Amino acid sequence: MRADLSLCLIKDKGFDAVLAEADFPDAFRANMYVKGMTTIGSTDTAEREREREGFLHDQTAEQALGDFGRFPTWMWRNTVVVDFLESLRQHNNHLPAQNKAGFYGLDVYSLHASAAKVIEYLTRVDPDAAKRARARYMCFDRYGGDSQAYGMAVGLRGYPSCEPAALSQLIEMLKNEGKYAQQQECDGVQGEELAFAATANAAVVRGAEEYYRNIYFSEESTWNLRDEHFADTVERVAAHLQRRLGRPAKLIVWAHNSHLGDAQYTDMGQRRGEINVGQLLKERLGEDKVLNIGFSTHTGTVAAAHNWDQPVQLMRVKPSRPGSWENLLHKTGIPKFAVDFKHGPKELREVMEGPMLERAIGVIYRPQTERQSHLFYAELSRQFDVVVHIDETKAVEPLDLKGWEVGPDVDETYPFGL
């Protein structure tokens, strides 16, 4: 449903890009695929065998998703995203380069992958700058590829911070982005995209350094840092596209409900002091420039893990709990519908203000402890402008079925019906 609505917004309403809760370098490869452009390099060793003259030419959307190798791979490497990217590429085929819709990543986790992309790009366009970037990013090398080891060493044990190095590299990239876009092999729109991606990856390194440096202080702190990075990335992409389009960019953000609904009207904000991208964008851009859309379900199946870095499982979603927003929407008896709080009658907003319980299922699902793990209080009509309810949902189908486990409460032949 999210993919279908997004395609409608892009095709019929002139939206310019999707920004997903995904690592920037991984998503940027898909971005270049949907725009029919080539990108430089790959973080996947096997994919490097397909490179020719330093450029990667993906032939399918599934190939373009090849850099998504970090948990949870199934969130983006699934059949729905493949179909969406193929449809977006077909739509873009009929448009001039400057008007092609894009696909970008929002997340902050890819410290080492993003640092490698910065160095890789500079090696091609400015070898002296590449040497400076390599020297700066060597600060992280003593910790190997483990970003959390960096956070523990700096945050808990007082090791020297890499913040000055990450910040210096970002400042240099910002100063030179315009120059790089015009002087490399791929000038024009493709050159602009590659130069922008290098700067965006430097921003990820800067954001990731701060995130991991604070990861052992408090959960609230790192949550807020991550969502601030989300909001910064939205504004960064918007400015990049506006320079090209000559008008404000229209963007779609794909993320979990807990990131997109205004946190001020949930336990997240009211009890834990957490903010999120939905709240930040309304504060920064204005209420009339942002529409927060949430999704709701009563039951069905979900692809998730019980704990971080564990195998993905096909799990049954427990029927919604009495006294929850999901259960209230289920009681309408309508299989699929949307509630428009922003444009609907005032009485609708008032009667569904709450607070009531709301369920949040991410890449982790623990049905045995659902009340403690996934339910919180929210004022629905103030948290979201629109809520789309699908009473019974179906799990995404991962592209990589190796390691796919079927939960004990789900038919083993699902979703294939064999």
- Residues 395-414: tens digit of each pLDDT: 999 998 765 777 777 765 45
HSE of 376 in the Cβ direction (CA atoms, 13 Å)?
A: 18
Q: Are residues 341 and 230 in the same domain?
A: no
The pLDDT > 90 percentage for the chain reads: 80
Q: Are residues 313 and 252 in the same domain?
A: no
- Would residue 75 count as lying in a domain? yes
Q: Are residues 239 and 338 in the same domain?
A: no
pLDDT at position 219: 60
Q: Are residues 9 and 106 in the same domain?
A: yes
Q: How many domains does the chain have?
A: 2
- Would residue 413 count as lying in a domain? no
Q: How far is the CA of 354 from the CAs of 286, 293, 347, 384, in angstroms?
A: 24, 17, 13, 12
pLDDT at position 385: 97
Q: For 354, left (φ over 0), alpha (ψ -120 to 50), or beta?
A: left
Q: Is residue 191's pLDDT more than 50?
A: yes
Q: Are residues 98 and 48 in the same domain?
A: yes
pLDDT in tens, 4-29: 999 999 999 999 999 999 999 999 99
Q: Are residues 311 and 163 in the same domain?
A: no
Mean pLDDT of 87-94: 96
- Could you give the angle at which helices 219-245 and 277-285 cross, rounded to 10 degrees? 50
Domain that holds residue 116: 2-256
- Would residue 414 count as lying in a domain? no
pLDDT at position 52: 41
Q: Is residue 161's pLDDT more than 80?
A: yes
Maximal C-alpha separation, the chain: 65
Positive or negative, the Cα torsion across 40, 44, 45, 49?
negative
Q: Is residue 316's pLDDT more than 80?
A: yes
pLDDT in tens, 348-369: 988 898 899 999 999 999 999 9
| Domain end point (choices 233, 256, 279) | 256
Q: Are residues 299 and 210 in the same domain?
A: no
Q: Is residue 293's pLDDT more than 60?
A: yes
268's tokens:
């997240």
Lowest-confidence segment of 39-43, 219-223, 245-249, 271-275 by average pLDDT: 39-43
Q: Are residues 296 and 243 in the same domain?
A: no
- Would residue 176 count as lying in a domain? yes
Tell me the backbone φ, ψ of residue 389, rounded to 5 degrees: -110, 125
Q: Are residues 249 and 295 in the same domain?
A: no
Mean pLDDT of 30-43: 78
pLDDT in tens, 242-268: 999 999 999 999 999 999 999 999 999
Asked if 279 contacts 292 with a C-beta cutoff of 8 angstroms, the reply is no
Contacts of 375 (CB under 8 A, 6+ apart): 321, 324, 357, 358, 359, 360
Mean pLDDT of 229-252: 97
pLDDT at position 291: 97
Average confidence score pLDDT of the chain: 91
CB atoms within 10 A of CB 411: 12
Amino acid at 188: G
CATH number, domain containing residue 353: 3.40.1660.10
| Domain end point (choices 232, 256, 280) | 256
Q: Are residues 228 and 349 in the same domain?
A: no
Mean pLDDT of 322-329: 97
pLDDT in tens, 103-131: 999 999 999 999 999 999 999 999 999 99
- Would residue 261 count as lying in a domain? no
- Would residue 67 count as lying in a domain? yes
- Would residue 417 count as lying in a domain? no
Q: Is residue 232's pLDDT more than 90?
A: yes
Residue 54: band (very low, low, confident or very high) from pLDDT cuts 50, 70, 90: very low
Q: Are residues 304 and 215 in the same domain?
A: no
- Would residue 128 count as lying in a domain? yes
pLDDT at position 401: 77
Lowest-confidence segment of 98-102, 215-219, 300-304, 382-386 by average pLDDT: 215-219
Q: Are residues 248 and 298 in the same domain?
A: no
**105, containing H or E segment:** strand 102-107
| Domain end point (choices 256, 275, 299) | 256
